[in-house]
Amino acid sequence: MFYFSVPLGKLVRRVSRLRGGGSALPGLVVEKIDPGFMQRTLSTLPLGVAVVSGTNGKTTTTKMVVELLESQGLKVFTNRTGSNFTRGVAAALLGEVDWRGRLNADVAVLELDEAHAVHFVNQVPPRYCLLLNVLRDQLDRFGEIDKTAQLLEHIAAKTTGTVVLNREDPRVARIAGTLNGPEVLYFGLDDSLLSTFPNDDEMRAAPGSPVPPAPERPPADVVLRRVGTDDADFEYDGVTVTTGMKLRGVYNIFNAAAALTLDRALATNGKSGVADNDGLLTALSRVAPAFGRGESLVVDGLPLELVLVKNPSGFRLGLKSFPAAGYATMIAINDNYADGRDMSWLWDVEFGTLRNGGVDQLSGSRAYDMALRLQYDDVPIGAVNTEIAPALAAFIRDAKDKPKRIFCTYTAMLAIRRELSKITTVEVVS
């Protein structure tokens, strides 16, 4: 049967694209008729598979890992569609393999949703994994935060080569103690930056409550030492280096340390056997934000930035990384399945930084919930419209002479990008 699965899957993919269908449909078809397709195809790669997972930052981190590896002369397969379910990986494979199912690549770097990563690694044990963080996100899907940590632990247990962990997230760091076999590497922060990245327990602690002493942190392969306006300092091999950065947002820069750690490990097993650190830094300096993750578009000759938010940590870091002064601000909150139905996390975010300039437009299915939350922080509100298209049009019209920024949940971001594609150049993700 598998002799026919690739041609059939490619046919479904072509028809689906012509009809504007979802990118994952061909993957679903090939999974049903040929369950061994992914394992058979990916097992041929010389450097195997690297899985990137965690609550926040998967898309941008995966983009960094891929572009840095390509700078080392490696051919990289990745799920560029942004579909981080197993069927999305299968669909992406169908777009890259030849008619016999052969994949021309050295390594696969795959962004995977925590729960779906478990299913994937059961089929295809990765040689590498990078685990970013564990935060309260979409609890209606995954349950409590310790359940998410268990999902990541399972990914690490299935990894055969190197596991890269965030030493500043206690739930991620302690995964190392459960492993027997894989090499463990860490990425981390300078002490001066720790308060910028509170872990989930610290964020939810009552003001003034005692904070339990942090365990001793292990040495990290790459440490983020400083974040500047358009550059950053990283330390590795006992040396601190400075590199320019197109990426904005302290969370993106921290994830750059994660990407460097994984890429250094992968590159040592590549064609040359050593990592070209200068080449990695040069490539890192050129990485642009992934779509919707601090992405900057041009509307009426001025920047319009899209900042994805999906949990309290991400929203808080977004507000800190993108100061409101001088910008018109819009917030669009949906509660579709891909966003998570439970929006109570909005009450864990402090919105005081928006108080001076206010929020010009609120939109999305939970716009009035967002309005209520802002009122408790005394943030002025311009207009509320649950329909995204007219709200976006009004936002652009009324703030014609100002740079603009939109904080949005995932499905709201997709709707906004569709509308913006009618009036400006928007990167097509297909």
What is the C-alpha separation between 268 and 245, in angstroms, rounded? Answer: 24
Residue 208 lies in a domain: no
Amino acid identity for residue 222 in this structure: V
Are 226 and 307 contained in the same domain?
no
Predicted confidence (pLDDT) per residue in 183-235, tens digit: 999 999 999 999 887 766 666 555 555 656 657 899 999 999 999 988 999 99
What is the C-alpha separation between 223 and 179, in angstroms, rounded? Answer: 23
Which tokens sit at 107? 């390594």
What is the C-alpha separation between 380 and 388, in angstroms, rounded? Answer: 20
What CATH number is attached to the domain comprising 256? Answer: 3.40.1190.10
Q: Name which residue leads in pLDDT, 11 or 292.
A: 292
What CATH number is attached to the domain comprising 385? Answer: 3.90.190.20
Which tokens sit at 241? 């280096």
Are 183 and 309 contained in the same domain?
no
- What's residue 211's pLDDT? 58
Do 232 and 199 touch, CB atoms closer than 8 A?
A: no
Instruction: Write the DSSP symbol of residue 191.
Output: G
What is the C-alpha separation between 89 and 112, in angstroms, rounded? Answer: 9
Are 269 and 334 contained in the same domain?
no
What is the C-alpha separation between 82 and 65, in angstroms, rounded? Answer: 15
Domain boundary pick from 270, 286, 302: 286
Question: If DSSP codes are grouped into helix, strand and coil, which group holds residue 275?
Answer: coil
How distant is the alpha carbon of residue 228 from its chain centre?
A: 21
- In this model, does residue 293 exceed pLDDT 80? no
Mean pLDDT of 32-49: 84
Amino acid identity for residue 312 in this structure: P
The two counts, helices (H) then strands (E), for the chain are: 16, 15
Mean pLDDT of the chain: 85
Which regions of 192-313 does DSSP assign to beta strands (E)? Answer: 222-227, 231-236, 239-244, 293-299, 302-308
- What's residue 91's pLDDT? 79
Residue 7 lies in a domain: no
Do 79 and 111 touch, CB atoms closer than 8 A?
A: yes
Are 148 and 276 contained in the same domain?
yes
Single pTM value for the model: 0.81
Residue 207 lies in a domain: no
Give the gyration radius of the chain's Cα atoms: 21
Residue 314 lies in a domain: yes
Reported confidence tier of residue 21, pLDDT bands at 50, 70, 90: very low
What is the C-alpha separation between 390 and 302, in angstroms, rounded? Answer: 20
Are 162 and 187 contained in the same domain?
yes
Residue 140 lies in a domain: yes
Q: Environment class of residue 266 by beta-carbon count within 10 Å: exposed (0-12), middle (13-18) or buried (19+)?
A: buried
Domains in the chain, number: 2
- In this model, does residue 418 exceed pLDDT 50? yes
Are 181 and 322 contained in the same domain?
no
**Domain residues for 116?**
48-81+104-202+217-286
Domain boundary pick from 286, 316, 344: 286
Are 270 and 130 contained in the same domain?
yes
